[in-house]
Amino acid sequence: MKYMGHKGKMLPVLGDILLHYADGAGKIADPFCGSATVSWFLAENTDKEIVAGDIQSFAVARAKAVVERTESFDPDRMIESWFARATSLVGQIASHFPNNLRSIEPNLTDPKQIKQVVTQSRNFCRDVLPAVFDDLGGAWPISKAYGGYYYSPVQSLVFDALRQCLPSDTNKRKVALAALVEAVSRAAAAPGHTAQPFQPTASSAKYIIEAWTRNSWSLVKNAVEEISTRTALVKGKGSVGDFRKTIAHLNEGDLVFADPPYSGVHYSRFYHALETVTRGIEFEPEGRGRYPSIDKRPSSEFSKKTTAKQAAKQLLDACLTKRATLILTFPTVGASNGLGSNDFVEYGRTLFSDVHVEEVESDFSTLGGNKKHREARQACNESIICFVP
């Protein structure tokens, strides 16, 4: 999944370091699990209980789909019955219109008409669909907030219907929800994440057409097939909350992998669509990005310059209190929340008996907040810092 600060590319180096330190631990915490790549790696490759956390629910939903599941299953039957229920629900919506789904599907054959098509789609989702939803009941947050913006009206309906019809079996439901998060991320008609949708200009027409014609069902199916094959060697757990809550589950000698935010803008501004599909709750969209108001989005002390340094210290304090070894990744310099890896190293040296640093070449997204450099990705060095109590 596309995610700001995703550690997938670093796993060849980072993974070896984590496996080395995992040896002596009973549990391993990933308190800023994000896309869940590292939690999944640890669950699949160690016989330790993985404890994943994040302040955003979609991140934890992703983690739970693997870390809490030790048995694989045949995804075909699950996909078939899940999709059948959702197809019937979409059909009930479509039956209100003379040509069923064809009345809802935007005509995307002529890029010159993009403005008109997008406006019609937005008006349809805002003015027509809500009355149909009221008749049928249920929550339709993707269609109401994002239909005609990040997603075509049909894509939005499919995502909402799939959300309403999730499987009831606990394990299958976890995989289905994680797959839905992935599909919503992949389908978005937006230049980066979901901070702002493409606008219907002549130059962006091709991007909107390309995104709106992505098949929601296939995106979900592919993600289910991928996630269902992954299982944890030992059952772990995921829970939504602050890093302190995740670290509180540990015992002396356990291991923490910490990958806190480096962005001066809250993650929830970029990933609200993923949070919306996970929570399934309708809201009043705000601004060009159509996100929920700030008080309804998770916010992080790491993403405020005034509190980031204190949060960094508290993270190190929390690990030391548990006598846990901490492996932390952070851009060496230039993070837009004002921190650098040295802030962690200097404070860590006052607390831990051994602190050592490895630097790896990386690149990181500057989306949001870094006004000096507008390129989407910046070459940089990322530090992997090992703090041993």
Ligand X SMILES: C[S@@+](CC[C@H](N)C(=O)[O-])C[C@H]1O[C@@H](n2cnc3c(N)ncnc32)[C@H](O)[C@@H]1O
Q: Which residues bind ligand X (CB under 6 A)?
A: 3, 5-7, 31-32, 34-35, 37-38, 53-56, 59, 242-243, 259-261, 267, 300-302
Nearer of residues 54 and 182 to ligand X, judged by Cβ: 54
Nearer of residues 212 and 243 to ligand X, judged by Cβ: 243
d(CA 142, CA 187): 12
- Token pair, residue 336, equals 């837009």
Q: How many CB atoms lie within 10 A of CB 364?
A: 20
Nearest distance, CB of residue 324 and ligand X, angstroms: 16
Nearest distance, CB of residue 88 and ligand X, angstroms: 35
Nearest distance, CB of residue 29 and ligand X, angstroms: 11
Nearer of residues 221 and 266 to ligand X, judged by Cβ: 266
Nearest distance, CB of residue 243 and ligand X, angstroms: 4
Query: Which residue in 59, 69, 371 sits closest to 239, CA to CA?
Result: 59
Nearer of residues 49 and 259 to ligand X, judged by Cβ: 259
- Token pair, residue 330, equals 């952070």
- Token pair, residue 59, equals 């991140």
Strands 49-54 and 27-30: parallel
CA distances to 196, 288, 307 from 304, in Å: 21, 22, 6
Nearer of residues 53 and 285 to ligand X, judged by Cβ: 53
Nearest distance, CB of residue 143 and ligand X, angstroms: 25
Q: What angle do CA 169, 172, 173 make, to 5 degrees?
A: 75
Query: Which residue in 94, 220, 126 sits closest to 165, CA to CA?
Result: 220
d(CA 371, CA 375): 10
Answer whether 1's CB lies under 8 Å from 353's CB.
no
Nearest distance, CB of residue 389 and ligand X, angstroms: 21
Q: Is 71 exposed, middle or buried (0-12, 13-18, 19+ CB in 10 A)?
A: exposed
Alpha helices in the chain (DSSP H): 11-22, 37-45, 57-67, 75-94, 101-104, 114-123, 129-136, 141-146, 153-164, 170-187, 205-212, 216-228, 243-247, 272-279, 305-321, 341-349
Nearest distance, CB of residue 63 and ligand X, angstroms: 10
Nearer of residues 65 and 79 to ligand X, judged by Cβ: 65
Nearer of residues 122 and 304 to ligand X, judged by Cβ: 304
Nearest distance, CB of residue 2 and ligand X, angstroms: 10
Nearer of residues 130 and 241 to ligand X, judged by Cβ: 241
One-letter amino acid for residue 251 of the chain:
N
- Token pair, residue 297, equals 């989005």
Nearer of residues 10 and 129 to ligand X, judged by Cβ: 10
Nearest distance, CB of residue 320 and ligand X, angstroms: 17
d(CA 178, CA 160): 14
Nearer of residues 5 and 348 to ligand X, judged by Cβ: 5
Go through 282-296 and write b for each residue having 16 or more CB atoms within 10 A of its CB, e for each that does not. Answer: bbebeeebbbbeeee
Nearest distance, CB of residue 34 and ligand X, angstroms: 3
Q: How many CB atoms lie within 10 A of CB 110?
A: 11
Query: Which residue in 363, 387, 360 sits closest to 376, CA to CA?
Result: 363
